[in-house]
C-alpha cells in the first residue's frame, strides 16, 4: 500500500478486488456499475462559510487495494433531489438521564462492563452514568440521534418536515456493525413502546425501555469480522417552543429526525468474573491488569468500534467502546 502520485500524472487508479479476480477466473466478470470514494479526505478542514477549500488540495489519497472491505467505506452519495442543502448527521446524545456518558479523564471511549462484578466495581469507583452494562435491558444505553446540525435553522415541526421528511432523509432505520469476535448480539429499542418528545413547557417525555435482542442480518461483511444488525429509529419530536432550551434534551441543534438507543451482548467467554481464568482475547486484543482509575482495582480491557449508518441519509458514525473486565486487586 502506498500513496498515489498527486503530481497530476495519475487520474484514475483501478484494480480488481478479490471478488473481481474470482469472477474473472470463472468467466463471468462484467463491469456494470462503479462507485467513487475519497475516505482519506477530511472535509472538516475546509471552511464552508468562506468557500475556502485550499486545505484539501495537498491531502494524499491511497492506492486502490484489492480487499473487498478495505476501500470506500464512506462512498460519495447520490441523492434524487438536486436542491438538497442540508444532510442529516448522526450524533451521540449524552444529556438524557438514560444515556451513557464518556468518562471525563478518558473521553476517547464509552466504558462497557463485561459482567455484574465489573459493574459493581465501576459503580463505586466512577459512578453509574459513565458506563453501560453487558446484556442489560433497562439501564444506561448508547443513545444517538439523526438530524441536521445547523443552529441557523429552526427546530420546530415545520422545519423537520421541510428539511428532512420532504427529501426522504428520515433515518427510520439504522445499520449497526459490531465485531463478532467480542459482541454476540445487539439490543435495540421497541418501536411500539418507545417515544421521545417535549411539551410547550419543555418537559421531556422519553422512554427507551425495555430493549430487545436483535439477531444479525445477512448484508455481507462490510468489515472483516463484523456482523450487521438493523435498529429502528424512533421519531424525534423534541421541538423549540420558545419557552426554554430544547437543546437541554437533544444533541442536534437544528431540525431533528429520529433517535435510537442500543446496548450490546458480549460473547460468553468475555464475561468470566475475576475468580475464573480470563479469556485469551483480553491479552491478544487488549491489555490486562490495568489500574485505570487509580487505587488497587485492576481491569482487563479490549477496545472496539461500533459502526452506525443511517439508511436514508447514508451518514455514518463510529462509536469507540472499551470493554472492561474486573481482574482483581
pLDDT digits over 157-216, tens only? 999 999 999 999 999 999 999 999 999 999 999 999 999 999 999 999 999 989 999 999
Q: Is the same domain home to 105 and 236?
A: yes
Residues 61 and 93 grouped into a single domain: no
Q: Which long-range contacts (CB under 8 A, 24 or more apart) does 302-306 make?
A: 302/182, 302/270, 303/109, 304/178, 304/179, 304/182, 304/183, 305/179, 306/142, 306/176, 306/177, 306/178, 306/262, 306/264
Task: Read off the pLDDT of each residue in 219-226 and give the average, rounded to a whole number.
Answer: 79
38 in the same domain as 147: no
Cell numbers representing residue 175 in the block: 445499520
Residues 254 and 186 reside in one and the same domain: yes
In a domain, 82, yes or no: no
Residue 66 has pLDDT above 90, yes or no: no
- Gap between the Cα atoms of 300 and 323, Å rounded: 8
pLDDT at 2 over 70: no
The answer, yes or no, to whether residue 1 has pLDDT greater than 60, is no
Asked which of 76, 97, 116 is the last residue of a domain, the reply is 76
Q: How is residue 24 annotated by DSSP?
A: H
What would the pLDDT profile of 312-325 be if each residue is shown by its tens digit?
999 999 999 999 99
The per-residue pLDDT for range 115-124, each reduced to its tens digit, is 999 999 999 9
**Residue 89: which of 262, 308, 291, 326 has the closest Cα?**
308
The number of folded domains in the chain is 2
Query: Is residue 54 located within the same domain as residue 184?
Result: no
- Looking at the fold, whether 158 and 297 belong to one and the same domain comes out as yes
The helix or strand, by DSSP H or E, that contains position 157, with its residue range, turns out to be: helix 157-163
Same-domain pairing of 27 and 144? no
Q: Is residue 81 part of a domain?
A: no
Residue 263 has pLDDT above 90, yes or no: yes
Average pLDDT, the chain: 91
In a domain, residue 9? The reply is: yes
Q: Are 40 and 101 found together in one domain?
A: no
Domain end call among 13, 46, 76: 76
Residue 83 lies in a domain: no
Q: Domain range spanning residue 102?
A: 89-328
C-alpha cell at 146: 439523526
Tell me which of 76, 104, 122 is where a domain ends: 76
Same domain, 250 and 156: yes
CB under 8 Å to 329, separation ≥6 — which residues?
296, 297, 298
Please determine, for residue 12, whether its predicted confidence score (pLDDT) is greater than 80.
Answer: no
Pairwise pLDDT comparison (63 vs 50), residue with the higher score = 50
Do 224 and 104 fall into the same domain?
yes
- The answer to whether residue 130 is domain-embedded is yes
> Do 61 and 210 lie in a common domain?
no
| pLDDT at residue 158, rounded to an integer | 98
Q: Which helix (H) or strand (E) holds 174?
A: strand 173-179
Q: Are residues 159 and 52 in the same domain?
A: no
Of 320, 309, 316, 314, nearest to 175 (Cα)? 309
Amino acid at each position: 500500500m502506498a500513496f498515489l502520485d498527486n503530481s497530476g500524472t495519475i487520474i484514475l487508479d483501478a484494480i480488481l478486488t478479490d471478488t473481481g479476480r474470482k469472477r474473472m477466473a470463472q468467466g463471468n466478470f462484467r463491469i456494470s456499475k462503479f462507485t467513487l470514494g475519497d475516505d482519506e479526505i477530511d472535509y472538516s478542514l475546509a471552511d464552508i462559510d468562506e468557500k475556502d477549500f485550499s486545505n484539501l488540495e495537498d491531502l494524499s489519497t491511497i492506492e486502490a487495494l484489492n480487499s473487498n472491505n478495505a476501500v470506500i467505506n464512506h462512498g460519495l452519495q447520490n441523492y434524487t433531489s438536486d436542491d438538497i442543502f442540508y444532510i442529516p448527521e448522526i450524533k451521540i446524545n449524552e444529556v438524557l438521564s438514560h444515556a451513557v456518558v464518556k468518562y471525563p479523564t478518558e473521553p476517547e471511549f464509552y466504558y462497557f462492563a463485561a459482567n455484574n462484578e465489573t459493574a459493581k466495581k465501576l459503580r463505586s469507583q466512577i459512578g453509574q452514568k459513565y458506563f453501560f452494562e453487558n446484556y442489560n435491558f433497562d439501564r444506561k444505553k448508547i443513545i444517538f440521534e439523526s438530524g441536521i446540525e445547523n443552529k441557523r435553522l429552526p427546530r420546530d415541526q415545520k422545519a423537520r418536515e421541510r428539511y428532512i421528511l420532504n427529501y426522504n432523509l428520515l433515518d427510520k432505520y439504522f445499520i449497526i456493525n459490531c465485531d463478532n469476535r467480542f459482541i454476540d448480539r445487539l439490543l435495540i429499542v421497541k418501536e411500539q413502546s418507545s417515544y421521545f418528545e417535549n411539551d410547550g413547557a419543555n418537559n421531556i417525555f422519553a422512554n427507551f425501555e425495555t430493549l430487545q435482542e436483535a439477531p444479525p442480518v445477512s448484508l455481507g461483511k462490510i468489515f472483516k469480522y463484523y456482523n450487521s444488525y438493523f435498529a429502528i429509529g424512533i421519531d424525534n419530536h423534541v421541538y423549540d417552543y420558545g419557552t426554554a432550551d430544547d437543546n437541554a434534551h437533544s444533541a442536534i441543534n437544528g431540525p431533528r429526525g429520529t433517535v435510537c438507543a442500543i446496548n450490546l451482548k458480549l460473547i460468553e467467554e468475555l464475561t468470566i468474573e475475576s475468580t475464573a481464568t480470563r479469556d485469551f482475547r483480553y491479552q491478544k486484543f487488549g491489555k490486562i491488569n490495568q489500574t485505570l482509575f487509580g487505587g488497587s482495582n485492576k481491569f482487563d480491557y479490549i477496545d472496539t468500534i461500533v459502526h452506525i449508518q443511517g439508511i436514508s441519509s447514508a451518514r455514518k458514525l463510529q462509536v469507540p467502546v472499551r470493554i472492561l473486565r474486573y481482574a482483581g486487586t
